[in-house]
Structure 1
Amino acid sequence: MSEYSQNLRASYEAVRGTYQQFTERNEALLRDILTEGGDFYAIEARTKDLDSFEAKVDLPEKEQKYKDIAEVTDLSGLRIICYLDEDATRVCMRLAELYDIDHDHSVNKNEQLDPDQFGYRSRHFVVRFPPARAALMENERFAGLRAEIQVRTILQHAWAAIDWKLRYKNSAEVPQHLRRRVFRVSALLELADDEFSSLSASVASLREEYERKVDAGDLSIAIDRESVDIFLEKDADLEALVTLAKEVGYAIAPNHPNARDPYGGVISTASRAGMTTIDEVRGKIADVITRKDQRLGQVVDAWKAPDRPPRLVMSKAGLARLAIVLSVETSQAIALIGELPFGQKLQDALLQVLLQRE
């Protein structure tokens, strides 16, 4: 350790607490601003520790490079990991709106690779609060401080983790033939990134086609997650079913924000019932509405208990699935809910109502 690095360490030690608060402030700001768009998978944040700082400035190539710790741009570091490359692009645009970017020290690693090279891909921004944000009382102590923000996709992050382990953590340099194999993995990840983006664009195009058809009254479209989502949002018969359900004791709630498969139940039930198009699902819903099927309310009555809420809470997808079950023959309905059960309490109530009809 040189006197140079020790002096810088002492200077950094005196202000590291402020940098820690700066990192926390940036992380909170980015989570607040970016969450609404849903463009990121994770945000990581760290403030460089003292030993890491001293090791950095003590490198031979860094000797006498920094006259002041303010010249070190990565004391506060954040990483935004996005799902797709277009998500990362949108995040970069938001960063340009939120911060003053030091373009001299920012770099797009994607642009540094030649067409025949594979390797680390990420976008690095060195930023500071713009004057208006720095003037806020809660930010005054951060005026002039800089942070490094990295933006990358999940697959770029996967490569970076592998690259770091195989190329930097080992004391001996990785042999050339092994390094080439790792680079081939990098190429596959880059191709996968592009394919995910292409797939996302195809899904958006398919949704637009479904929406045009649904708006035109053409529901002869395949049952899948996208068509069900649009149908539940737009169909008039479903809205009529929602109205009827509310009258007999249901409360209709949106899908749970953390639900991994909010439409799996209705899609699987429709498939097991032999349906292949959204029009067939609508037909079953229309049947329940036309008959004003009293069993819809009877299910609520059978479900009720002193320890339960006054209304049976269900999503639109759950209600559509229930309509399918009520619109088929009793034996088929019992088979359907046996293969694809509802929650236990609702299951018991539904079976009770179905068996009463026998």
Structure 2
Amino acid sequence: MDAREQDEQLVAAELARYDRELRRYRKLRSRIEADFARRIEAAGFRYFQVTARVKSRESFERKVRRAPDREVRDILGVRIIAHFEGDLPGMEQVVREALIVDDDSWIDKSALLPLDAFGYRSVQFVGLLPDGQQAPGDDAEPTGTQLEVQLRTALSDTWSELEHDFRYKSARQLPREVDRLFALSAALLEQADDNLDLIRRQVEEARTAAPTGDGGGERGYIGRFIQYDGDSRSLDQIITAALDVPFGAVTGTGRELRSVVRAAGWLQYDALAEGFAEYSELGRRLAIACASSTHDILLTDAEPQRPPRSFRGIGVYWTAMAAALVAGASLRESRVPDGRLAEYGVVARHLFEHPDASALATRSRYEQAAAPVGTLDDASFAPIVLD
């Protein structure tokens, strides 16, 4: 059998597989759209669109024939369209939590462009939809349905679709002037995406700039930061995923959050931004080491009956907590008992002095030494030791 006959057999086998699985793929498409939209909305995002699709048989066959010996991994695909470019990293993190991601497949199309060029911008990767037999972290080979994920802004999506139809489906060579116009349009759309993020930040700042009688001025700059700073939102998602707890609204977080931000000395927006940039990595490690994943994350001892729940701003909370504890600042306004704060202080200083120490290993050591939840008595608290 020659190479051509072998290729035809491979193509026929792949087409037969496509036909067998088509009905299942179509059912999965609707489920994926609904599930991903629910997850993204639950994470606090408002402006987005989720669209899943099954590759047509004709398109599938063309791709197989181009490389018969290479697996087609995008029969099932989902596209996440964000109205604001600043939302894309957070949305990507949400989607990753639903999949077993092949990180080698991750591509940022914009990174492939020359520094002085503008063009197609999209983040793409392939992940597995677990079928129930396999969970992340198992030693066995992952099983499940492969799904290609694309994340891009609405403006980038419009541009790429038009460019694909006008440029790559054209029957003849396009004039050089058309190429120049495509490049110019891509540059303008990239600037428009940046402008939309800036507009959103400035509109929100204008809405919350004026102090109110209930402390709105302070709430304003902290609220603006946790709402619109991309690094803050990403850290919220990272900590939530690391602790594996639900994300949503938690009563009483505002007061507690403001107490630790004040203790850190971050009394203005710029101070908060600078402090967060300096201490966010320590805050992440402190949260992983200390935050409860079986009781209320903030007030474990004050309200031990509440279940754990993450919230928007959890990254700022633990970052400010870490900064205040390392600096030896007073946290008298916090509702966390003094004994528990003393424990957190020992852990924060240990992580600060040992930047290469594993947060998970530190968590294990801390759990063995910490006072049990709900039984902490400040009067008889015995300091713990990690070093």
TM-score tier (shorter): 0.5 to 0.7
* Correspondence for 1:14 among 20, 38, 41: 20
Question: What residue ranges of structure 1 are gaps of 5+ in the alignment?
Answer: 136-141, 219-358
- 8 Å CA contact retained: 2:208, 2:216: no
Q: Report the 3-state secondary structure (helix = DSSP H, G, I; strand = E; otherwise coil) of the residue aligned with 2:172.
A: coil
* Aligned equivalent of 2:60: 53
Question: What residue ranges of structure 2 are gaps of 5+ in the alignment?
Answer: 1-6, 136-141, 218-387
Change (3 A) 1:217 1:43: closer
* Aligned equivalent of 1:196: 196
Q: Report the 3-state secondary structure (helix = DSSP H, G, I; strand = E; otherwise coil) of the residue aligned with 2:97.
A: helix
**Aligned partners of 2:79, 2:39: CA distance in 1, in Å?**
15
Question: In the alignment, is residue 24 of structure 1 matched against residue 30 of structure 2?
Answer: yes
In the superposition, the TM-score normalised over structure 2's length comes to 0.49
**Aligned partners of 1:165, 1:94: CA distance in 2, in Å?**
31
Change (3 A) 1:160 1:215: same
**Aligned partners of 1:126, 1:18: CA distance in 2, in Å?**
18
* Aligned equivalent of 1:91: 91
Give the AA of the match of 2:193: D
- What is the Cα-based RMSD across aligned positions, in Å? 2.5
- 8 Å CA contact retained: 1:166, 1:174: no
* Aligned equivalent of 2:49: 42
State the shift of 1:217 in Å: 9.4
**Aligned partners of 2:213, 2:78: CA distance in 1, in Å?**
44
Q: Report the 3-state secondary structure (helix = DSSP H, G, I; strand = E; otherwise coil) of the residue aligned with 1:124.
A: strand
Matched residues, number: 204
- 8 Å CA contact retained: 2:131, 2:145: no
Change (3 A) 1:171 1:47: same
Q: Report the 3-state secondary structure (helix = DSSP H, G, I; strand = E; otherwise coil) of the residue aligned with 1:129.
A: strand
**Aligned partners of 1:108, 1:120: CA distance in 2, in Å?**
10
- 8 Å CA contact retained: 1:74, 1:146: yes
- 8 Å CA contact retained: 1:45, 1:77: yes
State the shift of 1:129 in Å: 2.8
Change (3 A) 1:217 1:17: closer
**Aligned partners of 1:33, 1:108: CA distance in 2, in Å?**
23
Change (3 A) 1:7 1:216: closer
* Aligned equivalent of 1:112: 112
Give the AA of the match of 1:107: I
* Aligned equivalent of 1:147: 147
Q: Report the 3-state secondary structure (helix = DSSP H, G, I; strand = E; otherwise coil) of the residue aligned with 2:149.
A: strand
- 8 Å CA contact retained: 2:76, 2:148: yes
**Aligned partners of 2:10, 2:172: CA distance in 1, in Å?**
29
The one-character-per-residue Cα deviations of 1:46-94 (angstroms, maximum 9, x if unpaired) are 11121221111112xx2x332xxxx321000111111101112210111
Give the AA of the match of 2:80: I
- 8 Å CA contact retained: 1:6, 1:54: no
State the shift of 1:113 in Å: 1.6
- 8 Å CA contact retained: 2:83, 2:153: yes
**Aligned partners of 2:29, 2:133: CA distance in 1, in Å?**
15
- 8 Å CA contact retained: 1:39, 1:82: no
Change (3 A) 1:9 1:112: same
Give the AA of the match of 2:37: R
**Aligned partners of 2:108, 2:133: CA distance in 1, in Å?**
25
**Aligned partners of 1:133, 1:156: CA distance in 2, in Å?**
37
Identity level (%): 30
The one-character-per-residue Cα deviations of 1:214-257 (angstroms, maximum 9, x if unpaired) are 64699xxxxxxxxxxxxxxxxxxxxxxxxxxxxxxxxxxxxxxx
Change (3 A) 1:2 1:40: farther
> Deviation above 6 Å: which 4+ runs of structure 1?
none
